[in-house]
Amino acid sequence: MSSTARLSRIALGATLFLVGVGGFTRGSGSGYGCADRWPLCENGLLGGLLPRAEYHMVIEWTHRWVAAIVGLLVLATAVSVWRHHRSRKALVRTATAVVVVVGIQAWIGRMVVKADLDADLVVLHLAISMVVVGLLTLVAVATSPSRVRTDENRAWTNLLVIAAAGSYVLLLLGAYVHNMFFSGWPLVGNQLVPDLSNSYTAVHFTHRLVAGLGLVYLVYLTRAAGQNRRPAIERRLLHAATGFYAVNVALGAVHVFTEVSWSGVVATHLLLAGIVWTLLLAAAALSRPSPAEVD
């Protein structure tokens, strides 16, 4: 495996880990653990470089430094692409885009803190995080040594793109209302169609509806991949995505039954959603001709 492929995978794994840490930070109420000072902690040790021995401050400090490490890994990946794959213009553009988006993400993170964790900014922060994950996934796929040549099948690729896009939208819908308790599962308030006059109820109802339809769609894609004799790597990715998705549906139920009180469930729910997005996007990217053939 090339150094670029290895770096891109490490950066991708670290970014997904960061998503989980971010979910735990928000779920535990630690997002304001360092007050409104950024990137250091208010009244922390060594001028804020280190946290005091306080739970929420340690969690938020950890989140920020994991983010810093991810930034360095992303930059290292981009440098490796620029050095070793300069002739692959699409790959260079993608790697450059990751660096730019990470910079934007850091600025949005600062705004989130300064705006006292405004809900809309928090969702935007997560949305951009998933863009970083998506771009790193494309870099990892493009540099994968195990990539197999496939004939172009736009209809199949479009089906996979729809699945990936749906998982992205579903993740953001859930993030918008993740810390709000809605009784009943799988129905909201034990009603087939609840009162949708409240925007949060409407968003949560849409989240559950899309989640149910998404599971059916993924099962269909998994069966279709086998029937159409898609490459083994695509079938494995789809099986993994469907499995993680099903587990995440169950975690959604746990989220409701525990009345949104377990930070670990919040973090795991978000992490699995990010993994599903990654797997589906990778499958979609692999279903296209190799980048080496189109650059």
Distance of CA 218 to the CA centre of its chain: 18
CB 31 within 8 A of CB 174: no
Place of tokens 């670029």: 4
**What pLDDT, on a 0 to 100 scale, did the predictor assign at position 22?**
86
| 272 pLDDT higher than 80 | yes
Q: Which of 285, 290, 291, 281 is nearest to 240 (CA)?
A: 281
Q: Over the stretch 7-35, which tens digit does the pLDDT of each residue have?
A: 999 999 999 999 999 888 887 887 777 77
Q: Over the stretch 161-188, which tens digit does the pLDDT of each residue have?
A: 999 999 999 999 988 887 777 888 888 8
**What pLDDT, on a 0 to 100 scale, did the predictor assign at position 293?**
42
Q: What is the mean pLDDT of the chain?
A: 87
Give phi and psi for 65, each to the nearest 5: -80, -30
DSSP, residue by residue, 166-199? HHHHHHHHHHHTTTS---SSSSBTTBSS--TTSH
Residue type, 214: G
DSSP letter at 117?
A: S
Place of tokens 């990936």: 164
Domain positions in the chain: 1-145, 150-295
**What pLDDT, on a 0 to 100 scale, did the predictor assign at position 213?**
95
Phi and psi based region of residue 194 (left: phi greater than 0; alpha: psi -120 to 50; beta: remaining): beta
| 158 pLDDT higher than 70 | yes
Q: Over the stretch 103-124, which tens digit does the pLDDT of each residue have?
A: 998 888 778 776 666 667 778 8
DSSP, residue by residue, 233-285? HHHHHHHHHHHHHHHHHHHHHHHHHTTT--HHHHHHHHHHHHHHHHHHHHHHH
**What pLDDT, on a 0 to 100 scale, did the predictor assign at position 73?**
96
Q: What are the angstrom distances between the C-alpha of 292 and each of 45, 134, 135?
A: 50, 20, 17
Count of CB atoms situated within 10 Å of the CB of 104: 12
Q: What are the angstrom distances between the C-alpha of 269 and each of 66, 130, 198, 276?
A: 19, 14, 24, 11
Query: 3-class SS at 23?
Result: helix
CB 91 within 8 A of CB 136: no
Q: Over the stretch 223-263, which tens digit does the pLDDT of each residue have?
A: 999 998 899 999 999 999 999 999 999 998 888 888 777 78
